[in-house]
Structure 1
Amino acid sequence: MPTTLIIMRHGEAEDAKGTEPDADLMRMLTEKGKKTQTRMAEFFEKKGWRVLGIFTSPAARARQSGLQISDHFRAPTDWDLCLLNPIAEVRLLQKLPDPNDNVCYVVIGHDPSITLFANRMCGEEVVHGGMEKSAAVVLEVTENAVGTAKFIGYFTPRDAEKELGASS
């Protein structure tokens, strides 16, 4: 069985505070961003994608996005600088488990690099114009190599709400 790889953009974040070089990296999720990430985790579970691990960029908003999903699935989260680099997929692919383990992992990063990663994994443009916040590209991976993944779908927070029903 293939590995399910969910490639996500981080949730809605607050505006940068200040002009320091690391101000963008310190941006936190808004309450809406946290809630949306939790709803996406619920959506993944309803779809049968049981997340076993999460990889995020080191930016605060990406790490928080991962923690919202981690809390739902009780899955470990790891961050890596390679998720700030649009062409660092080789390093990320080395971290993923054997793709024949029938498991599910989530990768959370930033646009445009996360969109480029999803498209490169499929060997074609499956997402046009960039991923919206908290959106996910779902792939089936049978080998850890670019251009070999099977595109399952692109899911937005609106898709999750339609499937899950109105939020409480």
Structure 2
Amino acid sequence: MDLILWRHAEAHEHPDPLLGRQGDGKDLARRLTPRGEKQAARMAAWLDRQLPAAARVLTSPAQRTEQTALALGRKYKVCEVLAPGGDPLALLELVQWPHGKLPVVVVGHQPTLGQVISRLLGLSEVDCPVKKGAVWWFRQRERDGAVQTVLVTVQTPELL
């Protein structure tokens, strides 16, 4: 199984930085900046060339993640489990890691994506930093009778 974790591209800041919180209505309504739109388009063009047609695309209900996914030009499904502040184990269950049959692209948020990455890589830290607009591509495979999680690539929009 392939699991592609895509952090949303750069978005406008929360309009109430002192009173607002992650996942509130104003947070969910935040949109991409012009720079974020370019980041999403650049990463989407690269991803579209790499992904098989049957890949599933799942996104958080936040505007910025939907905008990021729209750049890919494929159908996507909005999943409440992927909302800001989501549970990394719930994300893995949603995508059926590691037993799913199709590649899955998850467009989501920090710190959830970083927590999933730390878990998959067996890092001692709970959270792994993920740059805005970046993709982390994992593959579960069996080699010589042992199941392995392989980090296939990490891409950032600036390096494409």
- Among 45, 62, 65, the alignment partner of 2:65 is 62
Cα distance in 2, alignment partners of residues 150 and 122 from structure 1: 8
CA RMSD of aligned residues (A): 2.9
The 1:63/1:125 distance shift into structure 2, 3 A limit, reads: farther
Match of 1:104 in 2: 103
Cα distance in 2, alignment partners of residues 129 and 121 from structure 1: 11
C-alpha displacement of 1:100: 6.2
SS at match of 1:16: coil
TM-score (norm 1): 0.72
Contact 1:9 / 1:132 at 8 angstroms: preserved in 2?
yes
C-alpha displacement of 1:148: 5.5
The 1:66/1:120 distance shift into structure 2, 3 A limit, reads: same
Cα distance in 1, alignment partners of residues 114 and 14 from structure 2: 22
| Structure 1 unpaired stretches of 5+ | 161-168
Cα distance in 2, alignment partners of residues 28 and 7 from structure 1: 19
Match of 1:154 in 2: 154
C-alpha displacement of 1:49: 2.5
Match of 2:77 in 1: 78
Aligned residues: 147
C-alpha displacement of 1:119: 1.8
User: Percent of aligned pairs with the same residue?
Assistant: 27
Amino acid at match of 2:11: A
Amino acid at match of 1:68: A
Amino acid at match of 1:149: T
TM-score (norm 2): 0.75
Contact 1:122 / 1:149 at 8 angstroms: preserved in 2?
yes
The 1:125/1:60 distance shift into structure 2, 3 A limit, reads: farther
The 1:135/1:27 distance shift into structure 2, 3 A limit, reads: same
Contact 2:85 / 2:111 at 8 angstroms: preserved in 1?
no
SS at match of 1:55: strand
C-alpha displacement of 1:38: 1.8
SS at match of 2:119: helix
Contact 1:13 / 1:33 at 8 angstroms: preserved in 2?
yes
| Structure 2 unpaired stretches of 5+ | none
Which string of whole-angstrom CA distances, capped at 9 and with x for unpartnered residues, describes residues 37-59 of structure 1?
1211211234x323622112211
Contact 1:6 / 1:138 at 8 angstroms: preserved in 2?
yes
The 1:124/1:153 distance shift into structure 2, 3 A limit, reads: farther
The 1:36/1:104 distance shift into structure 2, 3 A limit, reads: same
Match of 1:24 in 2: 27
Match of 1:6 in 2: 4
- Among 43, 46, 49, the alignment partner of 1:40 is 43
